[in-house]
Structure 1
Amino acid sequence: MKDFQIFLDSIGESDKRERMESILNNIKDMFPQLNEEIKWNQPMFSDHGTFIIGFSVAKGHIAVAPEAVVISLFEKEIEEAGYTHTQELFRITWTDNVDFELLYKMVAYNIEDKKDMTNFWR
């Protein structure tokens, strides 16, 4: 998590910082092979040089960006979890429960689907 520490330290409110840290730690624990990166001032995980999932912090939510194809594939589950979404991301408000199983499914999907990719983005 040392790669993410500067990002986490920049989150002024401790409850928001702890929530973001919890999400990042859970993904790292479940998928220890993933690389931690900060790009565009956002924490993200990559695998063999290809993007897997990224996050950003906004006033009212954490934005989760697994790429548009993943949003499309998991749209029903995202909505069932109570999250709003766009084509590129979904939002976990600061008061929402974090559906870690959904996050794990998305990460696992990207790892498998992108195993032979050499580009960062799809």
Structure 2
Amino acid sequence: MADLSEFTEKISDSEQRQRLEGLFAWIKENFPQLETVIKWNQPMFTDHGTFIIGFSVSKKHMSIAPETVTLAAFKKDIEKAGYEHTDNIFKITWTQEIDFSLLKKIIDYNIQEKIDYTKFWRE
């Protein structure tokens, strides 16, 4: 399991760092079966070796990558939450609330959809 503190220590803004640490703690508490990995300098959570969700940060927001299939499935919910998105990620600005119920649905969806999946990414 990767040490997320190596990632979060690089975030210079203490409020942003604490917010991300809280988000990661929430994931670990609610999804203890997920393994944490750092790939391409981004923290990701996997289940039985397959990608479930990944994160990156910028000055103005955090980006959440659940894979395009999942993002498309939750596009309306993401928009309803007020988050910007592309086909690959959605963004939560540092001033927006994190919709944990939406995040839980997204993670649950990926876990269930990929329960028998053996590759890291969907094809």
Q: Which amino acid aligns with 1:102?
A: L
Give RMSD over aligned pairs. Answer: 1.0
Give the number of aligned pairs.
122
State the match for 1:102 in structure 2.
102
Aligned to 1:13: 13
TM-score (norm 1): 0.97
Give SS of 2:64's match.
Answer: strand
Unaligned runs of 5+ in 1: none
- The residue type paired with residue 47 of structure 2 is D
Name the TM-score, length of structure 2 as normaliser. 0.97
Gap regions ≥5 residues in structure 2: none
Does structure 1 conserve the Cα–Cα contact (< 8 Å) formed by 2:2 and 2:37? Answer: no
SS at match of 2:55: strand
8 Å CA contact 2:37–2:43 kept in 1: the answer is yes
- Give the whole-Å Cα distance in 1 for the aligned partners of 2:61 and 2:101: 19
1:52-82 CA deviation, whole Å, 9 max, x = no partner?
Answer: 0000001110000000011100000000000
Q: 4+ residue stretches of structure 1 with deviation over 3 A?
A: none
User: Matched residue of 1:11: which SS?
Assistant: coil
Code of the residue aligned with 1:31 in structure 2: it is F
Equivalent residue, structure 1, for 2:41: 41
What's 2:58 paired with?
58
1:98 maps to a residue whose letter is I
Percent identity of the aligned residues?
A: 55
